[in-house]
Amino acid sequence: MRRIKRLKRTFAIGVALLAISGSIGSALGEVYPSRPITMIVPYPAGGLFDALARILAEPMRGVLAQTVVIENVGGAGGSIAVGRVARAAPDGYTVAIGSADQFVVNAAIYPLPYDVVNDFEPVALLISGPVLIVSKTAVPAKNLKELMAWLKANHAQVAQGHNGSGGVQHLCGLELQRIAGEQFVPYRGAAPALQDVVGGRVDVMCPSPASSLAMVQSGLLRAYAVTDATRLASAPDIPTVDEAGFPQLHISVWGGLFVPKGTPKSVIATRAADAGSPCRASKSRHREVVADYQSGEHQGGMNARDAGRDSRPR
């Protein structure tokens, strides 16, 4: 039954993409797509959103019979990449994989050269899920309470990495800093930050399971908790923050698909939630990376536009 549901979902996104291609072609007076489509990812290769983009690109290439080029544009918490999409022509040839980092946090605390509500159209919420609290293996703490005590005792020497200022991982780190007082080391993405945690140059971090769980399971990192009320299916031995004694640390990330404002309305598929189905149905080697995240179709109607609206400074 589960296999049949996956096949139905895959078929649904194929139908949606075919409908989109025909509608855009009519709106633009041309056969769409007649040239490669660019999917911009606001992080370096090797993380959750890079894997998500590659999973989405596979069925798009087949259905649209056109190349889908993935561009990884890191830096400034993803605002450089999102700014490129905001300035792109609204012709259906530029799409973005965006997250709460760019469309909520950055918009709430930084002056940006674009408006997350008025310069974009949200197509679909794709996935959502928690982050992990991890450290280098040399840290002596064996559980989250011991980690917090160690951070407090050594806060002047401790360095915490994150994937860019103003992101969800940064917010998780701020809560740890509020409790323990350690210092931050910002990076252009999770992959280079994690390399430094593994190498011992950075002590702690709050990465996504997608980018860090394999390192935890291979013994390169130590995981203390998942920032959710439920344990990860792929790592049931890692306790939740509730179980670890810090229920205030519920933090999640989400990813969505966005296009520039003014893109023909038909691009926003009426069954946009089906865009999350390739994350479940794909046979891609990247599929395991997003296995611990809910697909957008299960998000109870959460809308990226609403998230962006709530994030505007007041």
Per the structure, the count of domains in the chain is 2
Alpha-carbon gap, residue 64 to 25, rounded angstroms: 12
| CATH number reported for the structural domain that contains residue 85 in this entry | 3.40.190.150
Does residue 140 share a domain with residue 34?
no
For residue 5, pLDDT beyond 70:
no
Does residue 136 share a domain with residue 118?
no
Residues 6+ apart with CB under 8 A from 266: 19, 20, 23, 24, 26, 27
Does residue 24 share a domain with residue 121?
yes
Q: How far apart are the first and last CA of the chain?
A: 48
For residue 25, pLDDT beyond 80:
no
H helical segments located in the chain: 2-28, 48-64, 79-87, 100, 106-109, 144-153, 168-180, 190-198, 209-217, 278-281, 304-311
Does residue 289 share a domain with residue 243?
no
Q: Which of 112-126, 161-175, 244-258 is predicted least confidently? A: 161-175
Q: Could you list the residue range(s) of the whole structural domain that residue 8 is in?
A: 2-128+254-311
Does residue 118 share a domain with residue 140?
no
What angle (nearest 5°) sits at the alpha carbon of residue 71, between those of residues 66 and 73?
160
Alpha-carbon gap, residue 56 to 54, rounded angstroms: 5
Mean pLDDT, rounded, for 118-145: 92
C-beta atoms surrounding 270 within 10 Å? 9
For residue 11, pLDDT beyond 70:
no
Q: What is the pLDDT of residue 147?
A: 96
Contact 198, 212 (CB under 8 A): no
Select from 249, 274, 303 the last residue of a domain.
Answer: 249
Rg of the chain in Å (alpha carbons): 20
For residue 135, pLDDT beyond 50:
yes
Does residue 227 share a domain with residue 261?
no
Q: What is the pLDDT of residue 313?
A: 30
Q: What is the pLDDT of residue 275?
A: 53
Q: What is the pLDDT of residue 288?
A: 52
**Mean pLDDT, the chain, whole residue set:** 79
Select from 219, 249, 279 the last residue of a domain.
Answer: 249
Strand partners, 151: none
Does residue 117 share a domain with residue 258?
yes
For residue 301, pLDDT beyond 60:
no
Alpha-carbon gap, residue 289 to 2, rounded angstroms: 20
Task: Name which residue leads in pLDDT, 116 or 26.
Answer: 116
pLDDT tens-digit map of 275-295 = 544 444 444 444 554 556 655
For residue 69, pLDDT beyond 80:
yes
For residue 144, pLDDT beyond 90:
yes
The DSSP code for 240 is B
pTM for the structure as a whole: 0.71
Q: What is the pLDDT of residue 13?
A: 46
* Cα within 13 Å of Cα(144), Cβ side: 23
Tokens of 129: 């899920």
Does residue 223 share a domain with residue 159?
yes
pLDDT tens-digit map of 203-229 = 999 998 988 999 999 999 999 999 999
Does residue 198 share a domain with residue 233?
yes
- Coil vs helix vs strand at 124: strand
Select from 249, 269, 302 the last residue of a domain.
Answer: 249
- Coil vs helix vs strand at 130: strand
Does residue 116 share a domain with residue 148?
no
| CATH number reported for the structural domain that contains residue 137 in this entry | 3.40.190.10
C-beta atoms surrounding 135 within 10 Å? 22
How many residues does this entry show for the chain? 314
Q: Which of 189-198, 283-292, 302-311 is predicted least confidently? A: 302-311
Contact 126, 53 (CB under 8 A): no
Does residue 70 share a domain with residue 91?
yes
Does residue 29 share a domain with residue 120?
yes
- Coil vs helix vs strand at 286: coil
